[in-house]
A = this chain, B = another copy of it.
């Protein structure tokens, strides 16, 4: 008896294969890993979550344990809407928020609601790899837009818009994954001017916005574009990724209805206990004070990694200097492939991700992504030294 699998799951999945390989390697406890995007465990507000959990199961257990609606827990949606007003001066009501299983499911729902086979979608190049993987479930043609240190390369964006008509454009404007860059306000405004009269949904993913430890925050694309922009958020980087609670802020009633229908068909609703725990956690605690601590923790780690890179890297390797988020992006000398460095580093028990899976088309690129949030200073020092050696070994092969 044979399982006749769908084309959807049998076609080549470059991103998925790459990630699986990395994850497998990282299972070795001896490995120092800069490969993932995990929060540092001591950043979790453990005591506050414990207290919130006792409250949920003590005061309102039936609501936590019973079925609920696809939209999500109303007080949590209100907390999210209120925070948009407070931190970004954006007007959303609780009704505009759809709770999802992390922002990963938000990407899957939006892709499902917009992409028919062969439709075009625009992505940053390089782009968050699991976003590419998720979009490919729906068989789109990906139109890449190049990045600079200031955001999208506007010439590249104009050229893409001249040639293509993407249904949506996916962008991570703050501390982009993988590059760590942040879009300037001028760049955001220019992008908005270019897309605002077109039927292109702007999907602005903002998982890292709260993790700013330097510089000044830019405006959300929603500020420029209103309902044309769907704004994605998550509790994964500010409270807990294991709870799998994220959201879509959406002002278009029809789009909202379709996203909710789809959500209820795929899993009815996001789990209630974690939604309720997070609502209590946000309402009962000084979340700002917590974030001040987390930002300082990540600032120190970022500075430590940048110092080590300055100290150990061979001549000719460049890297981005993020003002927040989780990642630093290395550009190796021309012709030095990140995948070769990845193999060499693994021999030295250091895990990194070569840039290739972040690109839709480019392979053997001279790029590498490093994560600094989930390692100690000692691990960073040891690991970056070993990485520098690995780069030298590959450079000397030429």
Bound CA span A162–B66, Å? 43
A65 B116 Cβ-Cβ under 8 A: no
Q: Which residue in B6, B39, B46, B198 is a CB contact (below 8 Å) of A112?
A: B6
Asked whether, in the complex, the Cβ of B244 is within 8 Å of the Cβ of A268, the reply is yes
Q: How often does this chain occur in the complex, in copies?
A: 2
Chain B residue numbers with a CB within 8 Å of A112 are: 6, 8-9, 137
Selected interface stretch from A79-87, A101-109, A312-320, A326-334: A101-109
Shortest A95–chain B CB gap in Å is 15
Q: How far is the CB of A208 from chain B (nearest CB, A)?
A: 15
Closest to A64 in B: B242
Q: How many residues of A contact B (CB 8 A)?
A: 87
B101 touching A3 by the CB < 8 A rule?
no
Answer whether A4 and B199 are a contact pair too, CB < 8 Å, given A13-B261, A61-B46, A101-B271: yes
Let me know if B44 and A67 touch, CB within 8 A. no
A265: interface (CB < 8 Å):
yes
- Decide: B66 and A38 in contact? CB cutoff 8 A: yes
In contact, B49 and A167 (Cβ under 8 angstroms): no
A242 CB, min distance to chain B CBs, angstroms: 4
A63 to B240, CA, bound (A): 10
Taking A67-B241, A112-B137 as given, write out 18 further A-B residue pairs in contact, using a Cβ cutoff of 8 Å, ordered by the A residue number. A3-B252, A8-B262, A9-B261, A20-B261, A38-B67, A41-B62, A44-B66, A46-B61, A46-B65, A50-B54, A102-B268, A104-B267, A108-B267, A130-B268, A244-B268, A244-B270, A245-B271, A266-B266
